[in-house]
Amino acid sequence: MNNNELAELKKIPTNKKDEIIKLNEYENNVINKKKEKEVKPPPQPPLKQKENNIEPQQINVINKIIDLFKEKIKKEEIIGKNQFLFNNNLDFATDIYNISKNPLPKNFKAKLKFNSVSWVRVGITFDKEIVKDKTDENKPLYDIYYILEDLNQFYDLSHGWRTNIFNYDGGKLKSGDELTIIFKNGKLSYEVNEIKIKGFVDIEVYNKNEYYLLVHRRDAKTICQILSIEEIF
């Protein structure tokens, strides 16, 4: 009881005081029991945090990117096994017509090392049957595109020999030179010792299938080796 309740209790006759005290104790007991019977909600488990904050759409995008990387790695592995080889399973040319063992990437850069140079043409072919031909021709009747060792004259089946498409201030291809063939988005161009040869050739590729690196040796004096073939973007 508080002070006010005690003051009021003193005013009450003695014979009534005990009854009031007992009544208060009874009321307090009833109230306490009622509180005990009140059903408390069961404790809630802590909220489960998301394992990550990535939405389903983001997961789909990530999976697609992973699949693309896997496909790229697989393609690189296939190319990598034989990327430095000609059709003779060697990294240097031995025949009249020498093509890369595997088809080239859609866009590529191929580097060749010339230990000696005589009559030679370098480029690409869309006709791998050329390697079966053992007859040397100045104008082969195949779907080919290549530059002469003078780094000026260029040949393809549709136009024959053309001049002044390419221009290189360093003169002809010579022993020790590294020649790079670059093919990107249908444009064929060249570099010698990482110096760009001026000019390029547009090639329609929409109806082409596979294409190959081509080295046409018109005599055995030319020694040519594949250093690298890589896909470019």
Residue 200 included in any domain: yes
For the stretch 31-60, pLDDT in tens is 666 666 665 666 766 665 555 666 777 777
pLDDT, position 184: 96
Q: Are residues 95 and 183 in the same domain?
A: yes
> How many structural domains comprise the chain?
2
Q: Are residues 29 and 88 in the same domain?
A: no
Q: Are residues 89 and 199 in the same domain?
A: yes
Q: Are residues 104 and 166 in the same domain?
A: yes
pLDDT, position 65: 78
Give CA–CA dist 60/88, Å, rounded: 44
Which range among 40-49, 82-91, 163-172 has the greatest average pLDDT?
A: 163-172
214 token code pair: 């081509």
Q: Which residue has the tokens 């100045």?
A: 138
β-sheet bridge partners, residue 144:
125
Q: Are residues 21 and 111 in the same domain?
A: no
> Domain with 202 in it: what CATH number?
2.60.120.920
Is 189 in contact with 57 (CB distance < 8 Å)?
no
pLDDT, position 67: 79
Task: Indicate whether this model's pTM tops 0.75.
Answer: no
Residue 50 included in any domain: no
pLDDT, position 115: 96
Which SS3 state, helix, strand or coil, does residue 91 take? coil
**What is the number of residues in the chain?**
233
What is the domain extent for residue 31? 3-37
For the stretch 203-218, pLDDT in tens is 998 888 899 999 999 9
